[in-house]
């Protein structure tokens, strides 16, 4: 266990906290207020933000899509450059906040910002970002990750950089009241899989990280089980759990396996499957495929998260319990969006992963194109 960890995002958590941005953003800053398709105009978040920016000079840029595109975000970069923007306020979910990170780094770069995604440019400086979170799921509000899609080529790619870590994140659970149930269920599943990707690897005896991961998993499971009895406490607990699931701590000093995400991103790029739903499709099948590498951890999860009894097939039962949990939230674990051509769909995903050189995914490098084919054979309807 050896790691360096820092998470400097200031968190303003709780009802009414949006007003705190008035002081959190330097009053001399010229702010770009970045948001998505307009949900914030229906739940008062836009008005509250505007109110809090009364003493600031600001411009707005709307229309950042779910699964944000380079094409849209490049226009925001142009605005930053032309208008000498010096602070980006991202108001939305993972898509808007991820988009803000691309814009913040791209605004200080002379070339095509897509260079960041293809590894041609490594950003070490970016405009400062503040986030007002409207959907708990990704943890993007206090991490340095960003996932961007290039529509032209249907590529969905990720980058991570310390310089795009938001300086603050406002998490007011009240903003979730307007979220459609489907988006809320997505949030529970995405956060659950984030913990799994950092937890279901080798059993390395990391008691603190494992214990905290199990607390988060049990919390998310219990929130899923009480989905129909949502109240203020339910929303606050989900918002905090999703944040802690991917703020870097539980993954510190332990092996991680992001192969469910890497394969899932291709389902989103090709068939626009919601991010969380892509994970629910891939993960149970991937775990069954990799069960021998992950047996000890699956057994531990079965005991400590799902309260299952010790048995010879405890790891198998744990995967069944994970799958049943997603299904209980009306989140499917089979891909149907691809139409009738199952073989064509599998070939497309495998060849795209090969194109990205993702040919030995997982903590062991054992998720090869042969395994991906097997995983998808069981995950595609």
Q: What is the rounded end-to-end Cα distance, in angstroms, of the chain?
A: 41
3-state helix, strand, coil in the chain (%, to 5): 55, 10, 35
What is the smallest separation between the CB atom of 138 and Zn ion, expressed in angstroms?
6
Closer CB to ligand NZQ, 96 or 315, in the complex: 96
By CB under 6 A, residue 123 contacts ligand NZQ: no
By CB under 6 A, residue 235 contacts ligand NZQ: no
What six digits make up the tokens of 325?
């949990």
By CB under 6 A, residue 11 contacts ligand NZQ: no
Asked if 200 and 299 count as a contact pair (C-beta separation under 8 A), the reply is no
Closer CB to Zn ion, 190 or 214, in the complex: 190
Residues of this chain that bind Zn ion (CB under 5 A): 190
Chosen from ligand NZQ, Zn ion, none, partner binding at 348 (C-beta under 5 to 8 Å by type): none
Stretch that binds ligand NZQ, among 36-44, 119-127, 301-309, 371-379 (CB under 6 A): 36-44
Binding pattern for the stretch 343-362 against ligand NZQ, x by CB under 6 A and - elsewhere: --------------------
Stretch that binds ligand NZQ, among 11-19, 74-82, 93-101, 202-210 (CB under 6 A): 93-101
By CB under 6 A, residue 69 contacts ligand NZQ: no
Query: How far is residue 357's CA from residue 119's CA, in Å, rounded to a whole number?
Result: 13
By CB under 6 A, residue 37 contacts ligand NZQ: yes
- Select from 146, 198, 259, 285 the one that contacts ligand NZQ (CB under 6 A): 146
Q: How long, in residues, is the chain?
A: 381
What is the smallest separation between the CB atom of 21 and ligand NZQ, expressed in angstroms?
17
Which residue is listed with tokens 């991906």? 372
By CB under 6 A, residue 43 contacts ligand NZQ: yes
- Select from 9, 11, 25, 36 the one that contacts ligand NZQ (CB under 6 A): 36
- Select from 16, 38, 344, 365 the one that contacts ligand NZQ (CB under 6 A): 38
- Select from 73, 116, 129, 147 the one that contacts ligand NZQ (CB under 6 A): 147
Closer CB to Zn ion, 48 or 285, in the complex: 285
Q: Name, in order, each residue with C-beta under 8 angstroms of 372's C-beta and a sequence gap of 6 or more.
A: 263, 349, 350, 353, 361
By CB under 6 A, residue 179 contacts ligand NZQ: yes
- Select from 155, 183, 247, 289 the one that contacts ligand NZQ (CB under 6 A): 183
Which residue is listed with tokens 């001399």? 28
Q: How far is CA 24 from the centre of its chain?
A: 25
- Select from 49, 69, 134, 318 the one that contacts ligand NZQ (CB under 6 A): 134
Q: What are the residue ranges of helices labelled H in 145-202? A: 181-199
Give the side-chain half-sphere CA count within 13 A for 105.
Answer: 28
Query: How far is residue 182's CA from residue 188's CA, in Å, rounded to a whole number?
Result: 10
Q: Reduce the DSSP state of residue 371 to 3 states and report it.
A: helix
Closer CB to Zn ion, 190 or 323, in the complex: 190
Query: How far is residue 358's CA from residue 119's CA, in Å, rounded to a whole number?
Result: 15
- For β-strands 155-160 and 145-150, DSSP reports them as antiparallel
By CB under 6 A, residue 39 contacts ligand NZQ: yes
Asked if 327 and 333 count as a contact pair (C-beta separation under 8 A), the reply is yes
Closer CB to ligand NZQ, 88 or 314, in the complex: 88
What six digits make up the tokens of 32?
């770009």
Chosen from ligand NZQ, Zn ion, none, partner binding at 323 (C-beta under 5 to 8 Å by type): none
Bin 212: left if φ > 0, else alpha if -120 < ψ < 50, else beta. alpha
CA distances from 231 to 221, 227, 235, 273 (A): 16, 10, 6, 29
Q: Which parts of this chain interact with ligand NZQ (CB under 6 A)?
A: 36-40, 43, 66-67, 92-96, 98, 134-135, 137-140, 143, 145-147, 175-176, 178-179, 183, 186, 190, 246, 261, 275
């Amino acid at each position: 266990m050896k790691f360096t960890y820092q998470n400097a995002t200031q968190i303003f958590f709780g009802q009414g906290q949006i007003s705190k941005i008035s002081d959190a953003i330097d009053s001399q800053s010229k702010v770009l207020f970045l948001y998505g398709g307009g949900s914030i105009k229906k739940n008062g978040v836009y008005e509250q933000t505007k109110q809090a920016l009364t003493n600031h000079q600001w411009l707005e840029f709307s229309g950042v899509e779910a699964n944000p595109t380079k094409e849209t975000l490049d226009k925001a970069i142009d605005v930053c450059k032309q208008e000498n923007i010096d602070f980006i306020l991202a108001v939305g979910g993972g898509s808007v906040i991820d988009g803000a990170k691309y814009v913040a780094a791209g605004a200080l770069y002379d070339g095509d910002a897509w260079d960041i995604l293809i590894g041609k440019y490594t950003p070490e400086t970016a405009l400062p970002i503040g986030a007002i979170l409207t959907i708990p799921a990704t943890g993007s509000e206090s991490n340095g990750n960003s996932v961007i899609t290039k529509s032209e080529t249907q590529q969905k790619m990720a980058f991570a950089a310390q310089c795009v870590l938001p300086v603050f994140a406002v998490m007011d659970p009240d903003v979730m009241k307007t979220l459609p149930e489907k988006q809320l269920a997505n949030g529970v599943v995405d956060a659950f899989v984030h913990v799994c990707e950092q937890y279901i690897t080798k059993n390395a005896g990391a008691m603190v990280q494992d214990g905290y991961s199990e607390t988060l998993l049990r919390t998310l499971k219990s929130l899923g089980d009480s989905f129909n009895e949502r109240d203020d406490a339910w929303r606050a607990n989900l918002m905090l759990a999703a944040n802690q699931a991917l703020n870097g701590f539980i993954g510190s000093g332990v092996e991680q396996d992001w192969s469910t995400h890497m394969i899932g991103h291709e389902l989103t790029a090709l068939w626009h499957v919601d991010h969380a739903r892509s994970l629910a499709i891939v993960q149970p099948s991937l775990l069954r495929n990799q069960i021998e590498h992950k047996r000890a951890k699956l057994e531990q999860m079965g005991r400590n998260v799902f309260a299952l009894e010790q048995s010879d097939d405890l790891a198998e039962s744990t995967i069944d319990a994970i799958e049943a949990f997603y299904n209980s939230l009306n989140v499917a674990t089979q891909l149907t969006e691809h139409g009738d051509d199952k073989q064509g769909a599998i070939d497309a995903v495998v060849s795209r992963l090969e194109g990205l050189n993702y040919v030995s995914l997982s903590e062991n490098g054992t998720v090869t194109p042969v395994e991906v084919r097997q995983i998808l054979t069981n995950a595609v309807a």
